[in-house]
């Protein structure tokens, strides 16, 4: 058994039942084979054994009361995975499917993503098996307050700085920030994605979606192409999906789909800025279902289906993990799709990833393509530390520059290790080397 296979087996044995975590580890380790071969120092220092073990895992009870006065109990988590490059950084996910293995996969991915941004951030992730759907604002507030009551003991501006993810947007960040401030009597940047008037950064809400499009723009540029006139398919209809479409519209592309967990809509005329404003109101304020778009604009709604059978040039999976199966990856390729930029984390199953890589399309894996969100969170931390705020143009220019450097360093590592254009290999290697070297520098930690 090769060294890499040994570590994969070890991780499976030590983390039974955590399929998403095992999947994320397998993908990274497989890419690292040539790096480990050429650099025995990593094997000698047991870097792979160490990097796959979280520095700390916190799991806690979150009791709260619903509007009827009934007592509810959820489970909260924070995975502080790796702090070699800086304070733990990564979002909080509130979704009924959340469990330890899901958050460990997300925190593990976050280590390499954060490394790629070039900003000083370690990797972490957290959340709860709480479902915000159908809850009143008051219920969401009580839940967030209870969640932060425990989490506040473990985070800090120089220790661990969470952000949003699925089910955690501006509303939830606000309630959690308020509770932290009340408990600790300090106004400090312990969360990112804050409101603009109280420490937030311009462009943070837009950053993941914009960044996924900038990443794809950089990939297209390697072939001398732009987004002008391209047809795009987007999944999800939350934060990442919305701003992906906004940027694609700006660049002259046409997006024809949106989805949520109940199905997808197909609008052959394209989701223009007026229709996008409707989606933002529907999803961020009314918290309704995407089917209402089909009713309003008289287009077709496909219940319980995903949008990958729609013909397109570019696909932006922006909902959740494993949302593109191997068959769906093949359908995308068969229909002529040749750009995939992952706004979501690990949205393509491993067999699908292999299909994209073997087909030689422009495929940007999540840990590179969606790094714009956390990068802009890093910029929010810098602004908080300096107690100032940069203009929209300044932040957007920095985001664009960071996405170009994420692209270029992944491309350069892929080239160096003999697989030009393989951004999966490139992102994993470029992300890993910096973290591994920092761990070596810092001794046995």
Smaller CB separation from ligand NDP, 162 or 169:
169
13 Cα distance to chain centroid? 27
Interaction of residue 319 with ligand NDP, rule CB under 6 A: yes
User: Segment near ligand NDP (CB under 6 A), from 45-53, 175-183, 316-324, 354-362?
Assistant: 316-324
| Residue 167 is a binding residue for ligand NDP (CB under 6 A) | yes
Output the DSSP codes for 225-284. --STT-EEEE---SHHHHHHHHHHHHTT-EE-EEEETTEEEE-TT---HHHHHHHHIIII
Specify the residue, 167 or 364, whose C-beta has the smaller distance to ligand NDP: 167
Q: Per the residue annotation, which of 8, 104, 113, 125 is the catalytic one? A: 125
CA trace torsion 185, 189, 191, 195 (10° rounding): 90
Size of the site for ligand NDP (CB under 6 A): 22
Give, as one character, the DSSP assignment of residue 308: G
Decide if 193 contacts 163 (C-beta within 8 A): yes
Q: Applying CB under 6 A, does 18 fall inside the site for ligand NDP?
A: no
Long-range contacts of 132-140 (CB under 8 A, 24+ apart): 132/94, 132/167, 132/172, 133/287, 135/66, 136/67, 137/171, 138/67, 139/64, 139/66, 139/67, 140/171, 140/172, 140/175
Task: Output 35 or 240, the one with its CB closest to ligand NDP.
Answer: 240
- Site map for ligand NDP, 262-281, x if CB under 6 A? x-------------------
Beta carbon nearer to ligand NDP, 65 or 284: 284
164 binds ligand NDP (CB under 6 A): yes
DSSP string, 274-301: HHHHHHHIIIIIS---THHHHHHHT-EE
Smallest separation (angstroms) from ligand NDP to the CB of 319:
3
Q: Residues 6 or more apart from 192 whose CB is under 8 A from it?
A: 161, 162, 163, 173, 200, 201, 204, 377, 380, 381
Query: x/- binding map, residues 327-346, to ligand NDP, per CB under 6 A?
Result: ----------------xxx-
Among 240, 265, 329, 340, binds ligand NDP (CB under 6 A): 240
d(CA 253, CA 7) in angstroms, rounded, equals 44
Residue pair 226/254 in contact by the 8 Å Cβ criterion: no
* Smallest separation, CB 354 to ligand NDP (Å): 20
360-389 binders of ligand NDP (CB under 6 A): 370, 373
Q: Which of 15, 115, 231, 237 binds ligand NDP (CB under 6 A)?
A: 237
CB-based closest residue to ligand NDP: 238
CB 114 within 8 A of CB 85: yes
Minimum CB distance to ligand NDP smaller for 54 or for 167: 167
Confirm whether 125 is a catalytic residue: yes
Tokens encoding 394: 């300044």
Of the pair 122, 373, the CB lying nearest ligand NDP is at: 373
Q: Is 261 in the site for ligand NDP (CB under 6 A)?
A: yes
* Chain residues that interact with ligand NDP, rule: CB under 6 A: 164-167, 169, 208, 236-240, 260-262, 318-320, 343-345, 370, 373
| Residues annotated catalytic, as ranges | 125
């Amino acid at each position: 058994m090769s060294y890499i296979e040994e570590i994969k087996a070890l991780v499976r044995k030590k983390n039974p039942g955590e399929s998403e975590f095992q999947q994320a580890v397998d993908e990274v380790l497989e890419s690292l084979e040539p790096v480990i071969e050429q650099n025995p120092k990593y094997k000698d220092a047991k870097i792979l054994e160490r990097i796959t073990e979280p520095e700390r895992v916190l799991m806690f009870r979150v009791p709260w009361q619903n509007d009827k006065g009934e007592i509810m109990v959820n489970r909260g988590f924070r995975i502080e995975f790796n702090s070699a490059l800086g304070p733990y950084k990564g979002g909080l996910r509130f979704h009924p499917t959340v469990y330890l293995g899901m958050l460990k996969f997300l925190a593990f991915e976050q280590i390499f993503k954060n490394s790629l941004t070039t900003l000083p951030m370690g990797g972490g992730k957290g959340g709860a098996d709480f479902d915000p759907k159908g809850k009143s604002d008051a219920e969401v507030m009580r839940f967030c307050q209870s969640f932060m009551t425990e989490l506040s003991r473990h985070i800090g501006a120089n220790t661990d700085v969470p952000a949003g993810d699925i089910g955690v947007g501006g509303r939830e960040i606000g309630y959690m920030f308020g509770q932290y401030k009340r408990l600790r009597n300090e106004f400090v940047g312990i969360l990112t994605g804050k409101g603009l008037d109280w420490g937030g950064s311009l462009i943070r809400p837009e950053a993941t979606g914009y960044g996924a499009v900038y990443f794809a723009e950089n990939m297209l540029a390697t072939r001398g192409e732009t987004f002008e006139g391209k047809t795009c398919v987007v999944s999800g209809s939350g934060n990442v999906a919305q701003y992906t479409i906004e940027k694609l519209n700006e660049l002259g592309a046409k997006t024809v789909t949106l989805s949520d967990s109940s199905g997808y809509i197909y609008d052959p005329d394209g989701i223009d800025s007026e229709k996008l404003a409707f989606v933002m109101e529907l999803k961020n304020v009314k918290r309704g279902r995407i089917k209402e778009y089909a009713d309003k604009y008289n287009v077709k709604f496909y219940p319980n289906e995903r949008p990958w059978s729609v013909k397109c040039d570019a696909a932006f999976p922006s909902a959740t993990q494993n949302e593109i199966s191997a068959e769906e990856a093949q359908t995308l390729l068969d229909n002529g799709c040749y750009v995939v930029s992952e706004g979501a984390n690990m949205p393509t199953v491993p067999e699908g990833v292999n299909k994209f890589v073997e087909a030689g399309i422009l495929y940007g894996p999540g840990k590179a393509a969606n790094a714009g969100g956390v990068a802009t969170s890093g910029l929010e931390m810098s602004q908080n530390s300096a107690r100032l705020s940069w203009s929209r143009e300044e932040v957007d220019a920095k985001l664009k520059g960071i996405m170009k450097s994420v692209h270029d360093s992944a491309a350069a590592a892929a080239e160096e290790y003999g697989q030009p254009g393989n951004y999966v290999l490139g992102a994993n290697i470029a992300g890993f080397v910096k973290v591994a070297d920092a761990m070596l520098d810092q001794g046995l930690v």
